[in-house]
Amino acid sequence: MNKRLTMVGISLLVIAIIYSACAAPAPAPAAAPTPAESAAAAPAAEQPAAPAAQAGSRLDLVKSRGKLICGVNNQVPGFGNVDASGNYSGFDVDFCKAVAAAVLGDANAVEYRYASGNDRFTLVSSGEVDVLFRNSTWTLTRDSAEVGMEFMPVNFYDGQGMMVRKDSGITSLEDMDGATICVQSGTTTELNLADVFRAKGLDFTPVVFEDNDKTYSAYDEGRCDGFTTDKSGLVATQTKLSNPNDHMILEETMSKEPLAGAVFQGDPVWADAVRWVVNGLIQAEESGVTSQNVSEMMGSADPTVKRLLGVEGEMGAKLGLPNDFMVQVITQVGNYGEIYDRNLGPNTPFNLPRGLNALWTQGGILYAPPFR
């Protein structure tokens, strides 16, 4: 009897618990306003202070050093190149300059360090370079803790291509069964080549080199039927071949290569500072702010332009940068479109169409999150 009563009691208790769990609303969280609500409710003077740069961030290190150490290419014309006098130029090099202008107010306060295909990420993770701008593809593995990169917004959407001799008779990858292909080590190029040829059931022999000069030279000497890398790299490198017009780039795009700057994981203050310089370059183009009109645009009534140029909103301070950081960048380096045109546009030997790298408002996919 007692036992039966106990069983009934337990059953009732279980039912009660289940009922209360199902019926009772989940405990309401404390009535904390969302950040958006609190921002809207609090008068401007009571807004939380912009967080200062965390002590120990690379942002402080770069400021105290007085120069930015930037990992770049030195043999890819248009992207990262060095001339006989040691002057660096190129699309990626200009992003180094933009970061130096933002952080230090001087686009020339950059020490360039050659970053090879094989050692580029180690240079970042060991802290030997502050940032890498070297046609590096944002991939899952590189982004993960295994490699430890924190990728910046994509600054060039690319894809892998294949260069062949015009007189080879090759017009598509399908014609390359059994081909010998020159390719660089430590790159996504090497991995995609294997994936694409395997998927198509084509045999090939890779001939692998550690840098671009060695890779294209071997192709130029006739040691390979094809030379593969990012299409941007092919266009750039074609200008270095003995007879550029004897070669062509096949139509096919073998992969997605979103190229982006990278910093080391775990330093969000530094990552945010660099990230918003890249975003700022894109926004400046969208807002029509150029190196030529930036002073005039400081008087613009457009709220986005005001915040972009530090006339309103303390955007720089939130990042540990001067509020006029984008004025420095745009005055000294230009906006994204100016950087693109200077290095890759119609008045350069490359004449690369903007394609995906046009603004989202002009048929491309470049899109900066809001400056607010």
Ligand X SMILES: N[C@@H](CCC(=O)N[C@@H](CS)C(=O)NCC(=O)O)C(=O)O
Residues near ligand X, by CB under 6 A: 73, 75-76, 116-117, 135-137, 184, 187-189, 211-212, 229-230, 233, 257, 259
CA 261 to CA 271: how far, in whole Å? 10
Which helix (H) or strand (E) is 131 found in, with range? strand 131-132
Least CB distance to ligand X at residue 155 (A): 12
Of the pair 233, 337, the CB lying nearest ligand X is at 233
Q: Provide, rounded to whole angstroms, the least separation between the CB of residue 241 and ligand X.
A: 13
Q: Nearest CA to 99 among 236, 312, 295, 262?
A: 262
Nearest to 315 by CA among 305, 353, 187: 305
In whole angstroms, how close is the CB of 173 to ligand X at the nearest point? 18
Shortest Å, Cβ 75 to ligand X: 5
Which CB, 255 or 283, lies closer to ligand X?
A: 255
Q: For ligand X, which is the closer residue by CB, 38 or 118?
A: 118
212 versus 343: smaller Cβ distance to ligand X: 212
In angstroms, what is the minimal distance from the CB of 115 to ligand X? 8
| Residue closer to ligand X (CB basis): 89 or 290 | 89
**What is the length of the chain?**
372
Contact 63, 57 (CB under 8 A): no
Q: Helix (H, G, I), strand (E, B), or coil: what is residue 184?
A: strand
Output 259 or 329, the one with its CB closest to ligand X.
Answer: 259
Q: How far is the CB of 114 from ligand X (least distance, A)?
A: 7
Of the pair 116, 335, the CB lying nearest ligand X is at: 116
Minimum distance of ligand X from residue 259's CB (angstroms) = 6
**β-pair type (179-184, 226-230):** parallel
Give the separation between CA 288 and CA 276, rounded to whole angstroms.
Answer: 17
Residue whose tokens read 């119609």: 346
Helix pair 91-104, 268-286: axis angle to 10 deg: 110
Residues 6+ apart with CB under 8 A from 359: 282, 285, 286, 337, 366, 367
Nearer Cβ to ligand X (135/335): 135
Residue nearest to ligand X (CB): 233
CB 49 within 8 A of CB 90: no
- Residue 198 sits at the vertex; the CA angle it makes with 194 and 203, to the nearest 5 degrees, is 90
**What is the closest distance, in whole angstroms, from the C-beta atom of residue 32 to ligand X in the complex?**
43
Residue 335 near residue 288, CB atoms below 8 Å:
no
